[in-house]
Structure 1
Amino acid sequence: MAVSTVSCTSGVKTTVAINSNSAQVTIPDKIDFTFHVKPILSDRCFKCHGPDKNAIEGGLSLHTAEGAYIALGKNKDHHAIVPGNLEKSELINRIYTSDESLLMPPPESNLVLEEHEKEILKKWIEQGAEYKTHWAFIAPEKPEVPKIKQANWGNNEIDQFVLSKLKENGLAPNKKASKEKLLRRVFFDLTGLPPSVGQIEKFVNNNSPLAYEQVIDSLLQTQDYAEHMSAEWMDIARYADTHGYQDDFERIMWPWRDWVIHAFSKNMPYDQFVTYQLAGDLLPNANAEQILATGFNRNHKITFEGGVIPEEYRVEYVEDRAVTFGTAFLGLTFECARCHDHKYDPISQKEHFELYSFFNNIDELGLTPGGAGKIPKPYMTITEKEKNGVLSFVQMQKTEMKEIPVMVMNEMEDIRPSFILNRGVYDQPTTQVYPNTPQSILPFPSEYPQNRLGLAKWLFHKDNPLTARVAVNRFWQRMFGNGLVASSFDFGNQGSLPTHPKLLDFLAIKFREEGWDTRKILKYIALSATYQQSTEVTKELQELDPENQLLARAPRLRLTAEVIRDQALKISGLLNREVGGPSVKPYQPSGIWEATTGGGGGSTATYVTSTGKDLYRKSLYTFWKRTVPPPSMMTFDAASRDLCTVKRQETNTPLQALVLLNDPQLIEASRLLAKTAMDVHIEKSDQISFIFKQATSRDPDEEELHMLDNYYSSMLEKVKNKGIGAEDYLSIGAFEVKGEYSKYKLAALALTAHSILNLDETISRG
């Protein structure tokens, strides 16, 4: 089997035969440390020869040039790497030796170097063994935009970067998607809802060159956009309506969620959006909105279990805040440096606890006395006064409570000392540390206050190499399914390399220089020809680039758990568009909460399904119990909300098909779709076409319509012959269909609609 590696920095390649299996491996002419060598060293060597100074074997560190070139042994008479000299480089001897006692990596590590990887290391040393700082820790510089011409293709700089990479690899961009598919795509990406049939027809018939841009502008101004952006932020902020742990009592944090929606609705600049959440309480003359925003830091789990050691859990809360900061804003795995120096990234245990100390100075308890109903301090109380003032966006009218307590941040006057914890254990403090940031990223400026506000300033310092990159990478992930760095949660040595590093830097600098404007950068991406490509894929392209890293086509993505449900509500006419307020409880299998409750009672002991319009609110507002998250959403890979999540898993399981076939919400939506189709069309084929277009944003072709017509006929036969109980099927769900309808025809058409809602095309973005 042929294996190839393609240089990210050079189009010049040489092909060599490796061993007797005659596999052809493409080795770049010029070896680049960042893209070719470091991934090998990080995967195979850093565990014993990496940044963790307490785990270095044989005195050899391979993560820096100084450590790699150092003289080794008692007599300091040999070297692992001698630039330009293979014979004197012991690393080469060790990776090629047949003596298992000397072989590296050692056999017991279960790590193996492939032959082409050995050749890369060999060629690298021959070429001088040049080391480079990890790409993500170098501040981005505005790259020169490639000047590549392609007839009738390319709308902005994004396309020039993408086209340059395609040309390097002998590929061309795909054709533009049809107007129907493009509209469906941008609607889902920006609002989480499909376009209506009327909106599709209006767009298809609008031949103005500005039509698409006008659609984007209108979508970015909608409340749907603000809510859709907020849904993703709930994962990042690990939002839930309960505290987690054992009895998992209810908490009130929905006013903070209302603030997030409000912030996206007014297009709050990203730097302000993040600063409010990290340190709003520390801003000069902080108002209630800024303080409420700091609830971001308090969304972590909190225990109410009797018998726990309070300090142990208090330390866990601080750890969660620090790790969330690292994941959400820096794309780094700070948790790996809690017990020892990071094995792969230049983050020491000392630096971990220096970051920890920024979040260690609020007056909180590891165990709140009083049990269910008690609010862990510190918290603020929202009253009618605040509601009628700066917090007018908080939807208090949807609750009977006159005062709403919400957990927030509030610094203690006497600073709590922080220590390096031996092996990360709460009761083993060692050396005292003070607020600081990792030197490898950006030294903490001495003029900044040593608190969370200073940390926020550091985060948005012009020389911080990560903040803007991590943010725009998530925006790209939203629009393309994967970020330019696929591991959006890890920009470190073990993370993915950027597929288009110069494009990533271009976008990061653009985002920063244009005022951290989220709407503007999303519009810029959506306007690119790269985004507007068709999803069609040739056999050749599937073989050359199966993961679509080169972006020669648009990705075909399944809708998220929330959007699958919201789409069904929208197209059936059931969707309740109310914004904000307390969480609601839509359909869920009975008995799940009771089976897992710890016996503590309270509002989370039994699931009480909402009634009326609350049943049909957007999934953003679904009550989230940490120990038993909404099962249908979890089946479709929703985050558990236990920890900060910036990228969800993507799975395909039989359970997903079972949810689509049996979820009462989808069955109920199918019934309403069928009713509406019967109201507006007389002919059966027109009714089926109406439902199909509502669900897929296009008309069915002749073959599809014929198949669905046959399916309808078979379902009609079944319900008439009692193979399916029409009345039972039509009674699923709370919404009643009123009017004179043949129960047999309604049931048959509802079953047909249900099948359409199960189509892969229906639950895909395009």
Structure 2
Amino acid sequence: MHLLFKTLFLLGGFLLAAIPAAIADELPVRTPDEQKGIDFFESRIRPVLSKHCYECHAADSEKVLGGLLLDSREAMQMGGDSGPAVIPGDTDESLILGALRHENFEMPPTEKLPENVIADFEAWIKMGAPDPRDGKPATVQPSIDLEQGREFWSFQPIIESAVPQLENDDWAESKIDLFILAQLQSADIEPVGDASRASLIRRVSYALTGLPPTAEEVLSFLEDPRPTPEALAERIDIGLASSHFGERWGRHWLDVVRFAESSGGGRSLMFKEAWRFRDYVIESFNNDKPINHLIREHIAGDLLPADNVEQAADQLIATGFMTLGPTNYEQQDKTLLRMDLIDEQIDTTGRAFMGMTLNCARCHDHKFDPIPTKDYYALAGIFGSTEVLTFANVSGFVTRQLPVLPEQQVEIDELKMRREETRQQLKQAESALKQAKNDPSSQSNLAELNAEVERLKKVDRQVTNQLRPILAYAMSVNEVAEPRDGHLHIRGSAHNVGPVVERGFLSVIPSSEEYRARINDQQSGRLELADWIVDEQNPLTARVYVNRIWQHLLGEGLVRTPDNFGLTGQIPSHPELLDYLASRFMQEGWSTKQLVREIMLSHVYRIATEHDPHPAQVDSENRLLWRAHKKRLDAEAIRDTLLFLSGELDLKPGGFTIRHFTTYDYGYEFDTVRRSVYVPVFRNAMLDLFEAFDVANPNLVVGRRSSSTLPTQSLYLMNSPFMREQAELTAKRLLSQELPNDETRLEDIYLQALGRMPTENERQLALEYLRQFQGTEENIDDDVEGWTSLCHSLFCSLDFLFLN
């Protein structure tokens, strides 16, 4: 058993871990949302303060201007001669915003910072100005002690934990259950009873496909005479085999790899080829591609061998991960642009695959985790030896032609040559036509010249149409011509260059040295980075992924900070179970479907969401899993279900889905009924339903979405034209079916929308409501309007929005 796990003890039903006394007082327990605020400060605010402000407004400045210190939370809020620089939540009274805008003061005085930086400060203040700096001398970690760092639980090697042996284990149906039951018994609490079959079929359907079960599927499952575990296993296998599995679980992964189809920043360029990456991810989950292969392809797919053209194309598309992040291509300081892009790549790679906040080490040694600044710049050298940008006034991204068969390449070359010749001829013909229009003596040739121009345009279109199905491009990367180690940057400044740092990985992980030795001056090191991340000796990757799967199925992760397995994250509630699953996951070939199936077949997956006063007193946060977490449908599931019930949902898979492609994403009109995973994801424009119901922010790695409760959500449900339209279409579909009476229709819509039959009270109230309903809209039949009102009320109900 791991060294740190031996220090775990049970106190009041909560699992706590002993941490070094030197840092115990420095580590407040934060909620995931609070931690997101701190992460936002560390990645967006602190680097700006360090670069532009500390020279004149820090305790170690030669001269502090205006009596204002900005190097601690207390100092910023106290302010200087003119008043508080920051008032949490108050953007009007926070003087720092006016100074950054060069309104009341000019800070920094030499230049006005970009608008996106000012917007970051405004967003930070609105979220309450989260700031971990306490204004005291740094005593948390004066130096990085790698040996001590390796004692922390997440850096310990993964060892398959022994399954608990219990005297009374009747409740357990799997090894997973024994780990859960062992802690429940230690806390002297019992799990609640099992969920109803109606709840289970709905729970399983949404978990595996993101769609509701049909009325027929619900009735079939309710009437199945077999024991529930046996009947459920069949439904799970059907869901795993469905093509909708990849759409559901691919969407989870797209959250993690911050997928979007526009750049954000500046005018937010659209990414015309980003859809290929989305489809690649969905197909990978449908085919159960091992996750270690998926990660290798994301980082170094262009460097991997391929057995055929299709595999080579997939691997090239996979590297879109490297370039799909938020980037301000209009940044005129190209050195800063390149450095910021590398920082974003390091941050995403660390959080997505290893649950590490690596970008905290850009300006200084990590304050909490054993990650020295040199490790950050060792990784930066790898990413810096990779070509991602094409520099210009408005810079761009790398695209590469997808591989084709040799005979196809010959055809492509011939068509390209023909198109180029046609366009040269067209250019000459248009020039001749322009001259003829201005020359009275050439008027007789106008018709002939016009005809030639139109003919050449037609030829150009024909050749382009011939090229389109065989010539395709993907957002990708290249190796630079001369890979090299990069410099450490003092205080994280792109222009303040320090010593050269050899390319490498995280020193705290012992296998890093072995992989670092493989990098030579002929390669970037990306392939070595990918192999190091998925090496089974790396203690982070499998744990992080298994935890993500557990969270999506059970509602909360074994580690409740899925993107942060460091010292400021939460410790696992069931560390032995996490390692058991991680070890099994690797043994089973890193298979997502195998892991999902194993977890869903456990007894703990089937328990109800019911409240029980006794265990609630011992474990109010339900960390020990004595009941199931009630989960709200996410934004995509809400939208897809509404379209499914109205009969409007288009289940066509994949393909280019930006209906009106333009250079920038502002003002885009979302007019599609495709599944939500195929709705374009833009960083500066989003479907209103997605905004209301906490869709993942595509600028960030989001392993755990927020689940807010806001008045805007209720207002959307009640007043949105989309909600009203889907309710009316659902009503018309119900009335068009050959059903004998309203009672049968009522049962049908309850089964479809809520996954259950109406209670007797609901049945009487609904039928009475329909009988007494009097329409108010002249152009709508009273029956249609009555059923529309009833359907709309169901769509706003808690039973529709939540899974039990």
Q: Same fold (TM over 0.5)?
A: yes
Alignment correspondent of 1:695: 753
The aligned amino acid for 2:800 is: T
Measured in 1, the distance between the counterparts of 2:568 and 2:275 equals 36
CA positional deviation for 1:314: 1.4
Q: Deviations over 1:583-604 (max 9, x none)?
A: 2569xxxxxx9xxxxxxx7463
Instruction: Tell me which protein shows more helix as a share of its residues.
Output: 2
Kindly indicate whether the alpha-carbon contact (under 8 Å) linking 2:666 and 2:685 is maintained by their aligned counterparts in 1.
Answer: no
| Distance in structure 2 (CA, Å) of the matches to 1:39 and 1:386 | 66
Choose the corresponding residue for 2:719, options 662, 687, 692: 662
Matched, 1:277 2:298: yes
Q: Deviations over 1:31-73 (max 9, x none)?
A: 96249996545349xx9xxxxxx9xx9xxxxxxxxxxxxxxxx
- 2:174 matched to which residue of 1? 156
Deviation of 1:386 after TM superposition, in Å, equals 11
Aligned to 1:408: 476
> Residue 33 of structure 1: SS of its match in structure 2?
coil
For the 8 Å contact 1:196–1:571, the answer to whether it is kept is no
Identify which range, 500-509 or 450-459, moves more after superposition.
450-459
The one-letter code sitting in structure 2 at the alignment partner of 1:145 is: V
Cα 1:36–1:616 change in 2 (3 A) is: farther
Counterpart in 2 of 1:434?
502
- For residues 519-668 of structure 1, the aligned pairs below 5 Å read 519-584=593-658, 602=663, 604-610=665-671, 615-668=672-725
Structure 1 residue matching 2:401: 3-state secondary structure: strand
Query: What does 1:215-614 align with in structure 2 at a 5 Å threshold?
Result: 215-252=235-272, 253-284=274-305, 287-305=312-330, 308-365=332-389, 367-369=391-393, 376-381=397-402, 403-446=471-514, 449-450=518-519, 451-584=525-658, 602=663, 604-610=665-671
Q: Which residue of 1 aligns with 2:454?
A: none
Quick one: distance in 1 between partners of 2:620 and 2:20?
Answer: 20
CA contact (8 A) 1:363 1:378 kept: no
Residue of structure 2 in register with 1:750 after alignment: 788
**Would the alpha carbon gap of residues 41 and 604 (structure 1) be closer, same or farther in structure 2, given more than 3 Å must change?**
closer
SS at match of 1:446: helix
The answer to whether the 8 Å contact 2:401/2:471 transfers is no
Counterpart CA distance in 1 for 2:149 and 2:253 is 37
Output the CA distance in 1 between the equivalents of 2:398 and 2:214: 46
Q: Distance in 1 between matches of 2:762 and 2:284?
A: 44
Matched, 1:169 2:187: yes
- Match of residue 596 from structure 1: none
Alpha-carbon distance change, 542 to 422 in structure 1, aligned in 2, over 3 angstroms: same
Partner of residue 42, structure 2: none
Contact 1:437/1:443, CA 8 A, preserved across alignment: no
Closer/same/farther in 2, CA of residues 360 and 744 from structure 1, 3 Å limit: same
Counterpart mapping for 1:6-45 below 5 A? 9-10=8-9, 33-34=18-19, 39-43=24-28
Residues in 2 aligned to 1:453 and 1:107: alpha-carbon distance in whole angstroms: 41
TM-score, normalised with respect to structure 2? 0.72
- Partner Cα separation in structure 1 for residue 498 and residue 223 of structure 2: 71
Q: Could you tell me how far 1:442 is from its partner in structure 2? A: 3.2
Cα distance in 2 for partners of 1:36, 1:552 equals 32
Q: Quick one: structure 1 residues 493 and 203, their matched pair in 2 at CA, closer, same or farther if it must change by over 3 Å?
A: same
- In the TM superposition, residue 641 of structure 1 has moved relative to its aligned partner by 0.3
Q: Deviations over 1:121-169 (max 9, x none)?
A: xxxxxxxxx9981111101211111122546421111100100100011
From 671, 676, 693, the counterpart of 2:728? 671
Q: Indicate how the Cα distance of structure 1 residues 367 and 710 shifts in structure 2: closer, same or farther if over 3 A, else same.
A: farther
Does structure 2 conserve the Cα–Cα contact (< 8 Å) formed by 1:313 and 1:366?
A: no
* Residues 520, 202 of structure 1: alpha-carbon distance in 2 compared, 3 angstrom cutoff: same
Deviates more, 1:678-687 or 1:198-207: 678-687
Once the two structures are TM-superposed, the CA of residue 680 in structure 1 deviates from its matched residue by: 3.5
CA deviation string 1:264-316 (max 9, x = no partner)? 111111111111111111113582221111111111123342x6212211111
SS in 1 for 2:488: strand
Counterpart in 2 of 1:119? none
Gaps of 5+ in 2: 30-37, 39-49, 51-58, 60-131, 139-147, 410-463, 520-524
Q: Give yes or no for contact 1:279–1:453 (8 Å, CA) kept in 2.
A: yes
1:681-734 CA-to-partner distances (Å, cap 9, x unmatched) read 3422332232122111001101122333344356x22x2xx3xx253xx6xxxx
- Give the AA of the match of 1:505: D
Residue 637 of structure 1, CA deviation:
0.8
Deviations 1:538-584 (A, max 9, x none): 23333332221110011110011111101111222221111101225
In structure 2, C-alpha distance between the alignment counterparts of 1:246 and 1:134, rounded to whole Å: 41
Structure 1: which amino acid aligns with 2:518?
A: P
**Structure showing greater relative contact order (alpha-carbon pairs closer than 8 Å, 6 or more residues apart):** 2
Cα separation, partners in 2 of 1:662 and 1:107, compared to 1, 3 Å: closer
Answer yes or no: is the 8 Å Cα contact 2:563–2:701 preserved in 1.
no
Distance 1:10 1:453 in 2: 41
With normalisation by structure 1, the TM-score equals 0.76
Q: Which amino acid aligns with 1:158?
A: I
The 8 Å contact of residues 303 and 366 in structure 1, kept in 2 or not, is answered as no
1:404-437 CA-partner distances (Å, limit 9, x unpaired): 4321122113114411111111111211112211
Contact 1:33 1:131 in 2 (8 A): no
Q: Cα deviation per residue 1:644-674 (whole Å; 9 max; x = unaligned)?
A: 2211112100111122223333322212321
Matched letter for residue 754 of structure 2 = T
CA distance in 2, matches of 1:203, 1:486: 33
RMSD: 3.4
Code of the residue aligned with 2:186 in structure 1: it is E
Equivalent residue for 1:708? Answer: 766
Match of 1:94 in 2: none
User: The residue matched to 1:413 in structure 2 has which SS?
Assistant: coil
Please say which of residues 182-191 and 447-456 is displaced more in the overlay: 447-456
- The residue number in structure 1 matching 2:234 is 214
Aligned counterparts of 1:662 and 1:449: Cα–Cα separation in 2: 60
Is contact 2:332–2:393 with CA below 8 Å preserved after alignment? no
Tell me which moved more, 146-155 or 229-238: 146-155
Contact 2:665–2:684 under 8 Å retained in 1: no
2:726 maps to a residue whose letter is A
Contact 1:634 1:640 (8 Å CA) reproduced: no
AA in 2 matched with 1:760: L
* Residues 329 and 240 of structure 1, relative CA distance in 2, 3 Å threshold: same
Secondary structure at the aligned position of 1:479 is classed as helix
Task: Give the superposition deviation at 1:630.
Answer: 2.1
Decide whether aligned partners of structure 1 residues 527 and 566 sit closer, same or farther in structure 2, where only a CA change above 3 A counts: same
AA in 2 matched with 1:357: G
CA distance in structure 2 between the partners assigned to 1:468 and 1:196 by the alignment: 35
What is the identity percentage for the equivalent residue pairs of Structure 1 and Structure 2? 29
- 1:686 maps to which residue? 744
Q: What is the Cα deviation at residue 107 of structure 1?
A: 9.5
